[in-house]
Amino acid sequence: MLTLKLEHLGAIRYAEFSLGDLTIICGGNNTGKTYATYALFGFVDNWRELVHIPVDDESIANLITNGTLEIDLEQYVEQAQSIIDNASEEYKRWLPGIFASQVDLFKKSSFNVCIDSSKLRIPGTIEQRARAGETEVLTLSKTPESTVATMSLLAEEKKIRIPVEVLRHMIQSAIKDAIFAELFPRPFIASTERTGAAIFRKELDFARNRLLDAMSRTDQSVDPRQLMLSGYQDYALPVEENVEFTRKLEILSRKSSFIREEHSDILNDFSDIIGGQYSVKESSLVYTPRGNKKLRLSMDESSSSIRSLLIVGFYLRHEAMPGDLLIIDEPELNLHPENQRRLARLFARLIRVGIKVFITTHSDYIIKELNTLIMLNQDSESIKNIREKEDYRDDELISSDSVKVYITEKSLTKIPGRQKRLTCQTLVPAKVSPELGIDARSFDSTIEDMNRIQESILWPD
């Protein structure tokens, strides 16, 4: 389990949150939901660049001289939290680039990742191969009986003379994947700006070409950390990721995700939500409504709800992998309440097939439907009868233990380094129980006010 600690990030003064199979952040506007979400995505998406594995020159020399190098991976497990602490410290420098904002806004910010090192396990069998171009250069292997991994330099390397720093990077990458790959899920994000991603493509093409032109004028190697801070990034990282994804849809559409291969019924349910199908025709994105295959609508001609779910649909059909973290900022955008409920049920099914889901939401419909799926996950005869009567499936039910919910609000909070608690903007954990579901009081108070006003209109004193 990952626990993240944020300080001085947007509206958030200090907050902690952990990831579950389903993680939800809800609350009012401008209360820090998107800041927490983007910061999470930025770290998980770039952890390989942030994590530094120490490999000394003597080890490199032994590898080159002897052709093999033995490394006890247990030492890195013991240092795991320290390694992640260093990565978190480095990530502070990345934050302005992640948000495409001024450096001054993040002078006091911090983002720390805490891991449960006791649950960190070295894979039993490891077989990895590193390449330089098309040439295999290095292998890493380990048997289940030992914690020692063997690095082997292939004979071909002596012909192509791999530089020492390249070898060091290959060794570090192999160790990173062996120790930390299962800790950090592969993220995919759908930002709130996703509906306009297709419109942004030309502008970001210009910005990217400008960056490539600047890179071509220097003979120095490019540090990805400096790239983040280079000033060429015009949009927050999640927005650029969404635009990049839409630009690659023609290539991506040739792939099949594990959901398409093994769980096509999930895609059928998604098609029910959008009322048709997405496809790429002659390099153009089109939407074909169900029941009218001759009609092909461009994204400009389609409804805002169709544009809102475009990249999610392509991700599910063509890109999704088991163990992924699917992040959606405000999934309810432009959706009718009934489709918001259907989307909540779709999330539950994705969790069941091994995709973790992280959402921010203002939608009482989504929260209430998730409540229903939690409360229906009981074995009493009355509950079973309700499930059958209301047509809920077993693979839509959610265990309360797998759900983490946080509400952005002001609360009395213990801040590290302070003796007294402080009332500040934070993330407050919401109770999640099998019997009552999610205690999302940020919605309840608004609904109660509306009900009170309407009751006073209908039944005046």
User: Is 254 a member of any domain?
Assistant: yes
Q: Given this model, what pLDDT does residue 56 score?
A: 87
User: Is 285 a member of any domain?
Assistant: yes
pLDDT band per the 50, 70, 90 thresholds, residue 225: very low
User: Is 308 a member of any domain?
Assistant: yes
Going by their DSSP bridges, the two strands 325-329 and 187-190 should be labelled as: parallel
Q: Is the pLDDT confidence value at 223 over 90?
A: no
Comparing 241 with 154, the larger pLDDT belongs to 241
Domain containing 250 equals: 187-215+222-320
User: Is 194 a member of any domain?
Assistant: yes
Residue spans of beta strands (DSSP E) within 268-413 = 276-281, 284-289, 297-298, 325-329, 356-361, 403-413
Q: Which tokens go with 241?
A: 């990721």
Query: Rounded to an integer, what distance in angstroms lies between the CA atom of residue 123 and that of residue 143?
Result: 9
Read off the pLDDT of residues 312-339 as tens digits, 9 standing for 90 and up.
999 999 999 999 999 999 999 999 999 9
Please state the pTM of the whole predicted model. Answer: 0.89
User: Is 350 a member of any domain?
Assistant: no
Q: Given this model, what pLDDT does residue 113 score?
A: 96
Query: Rounded to an integer, what distance in angstroms lies between the CA atom of residue 188 and that of residue 307?
Result: 17
| Count of structural domains, the chain | 1
Going by their DSSP bridges, the two strands 22-27 and 356-361 should be labelled as: parallel
Instruction: Return the minimum-mean-pLDDT range out of 174-178, 342-346, 374-378.
Output: 174-178
φ, ψ of residue 295 to 5 degrees: the values are -90, 125
Instruction: Return the minimum-mean-pLDDT range out of 126-135, 402-411, 416-425.
Output: 126-135
Q: What is the mean pLDDT of residues 221-234?
A: 52
Residue spans of beta strands (DSSP E) within 1-117 = 2-9, 12-18, 22-27, 68-72, 110-115
Beta-bridged to residue 405, according to DSSP, are: 24
Query: Rounded to an integer, what distance in angstroms lies between the CA atom of residue 217 and that of residue 208?
Result: 15
Query: Rounded to an integer, what distance in angstroms lies between the CA atom of residue 191 and that of residue 183?
Result: 23
Q: Which tokens go with 185?
A: 């899920």
**Residue where the block lists tokens 């003064």:** 13
Q: Which tokens go with 432?
A: 């999640």
Instruction: Return the minimum-mean-pLDDT range out of 91-95, 238-242, 313-317.
Output: 238-242
Q: Given this model, what pLDDT does residue 198 score?
A: 57
Q: Given this model, what pLDDT does residue 369 score?
A: 96
CA angle 52, 54, 57 (to 5 degrees): 135
User: Is 348 a member of any domain?
Assistant: no
Cβ burial 349-363 (10 Å sphere, 16+ → b, else e): bbbbeebbbbbbbbb
Q: Given this model, what pLDDT does residue 231 score?
A: 43
Query: Rounded to an integer, what distance in angstroms lies between the CA atom of residue 140 and that of residue 126?
Result: 7
pLDDT band per the 50, 70, 90 thresholds, residue 216: low
Read off the pLDDT of residues 298-310 as tens digits, 9 standing for 90 and up.
888 888 899 899 9
Q: What is the mean pLDDT of residues 349-359?
A: 97
User: Is 422 a member of any domain?
Assistant: no
pLDDT band per the 50, 70, 90 thresholds, residue 374: very high
Q: Given this model, what pLDDT does residue 227 score?
A: 52
Q: Given this model, what pLDDT does residue 65 score?
A: 84
How much is the mean pLDDT over the chain?
Answer: 87
Comparing 458 with 448, the larger pLDDT belongs to 458
Overall residue count recorded for the chain in this entry: 461
Q: Is the pLDDT confidence value at 230 over 60?
A: no
- Using a pLDDT cut of 90, give the percent of the chain over it: 55
Query: Rounded to an integer, what distance in angstroms lies between the CA atom of residue 21 and that of residue 304?
Result: 29
3-state secondary structure at position 422? strand
- Residue of 6, 16, 13, 171 whose CA lies nearest to 91: 6
Comparing 383 with 197, the larger pLDDT belongs to 383
Q: What is the mean pLDDT of residues 42-54?
A: 95
Q: Is the pLDDT confidence value at 55 over 90?
A: no
User: Is 378 a member of any domain?
Assistant: no
Q: Is the pLDDT confidence value at 224 over 70?
A: no
Helices (H), 157-280: 157-160, 164-180, 197-216, 224-228, 237-247, 249-252, 258-262, 264-274
Read off the pLDDT of residues 141-168 as tens digits, 9 standing for 90 and up.
889 888 998 988 876 545 557 778 888 8
Helices (H), 353-401: 364-375, 381-389
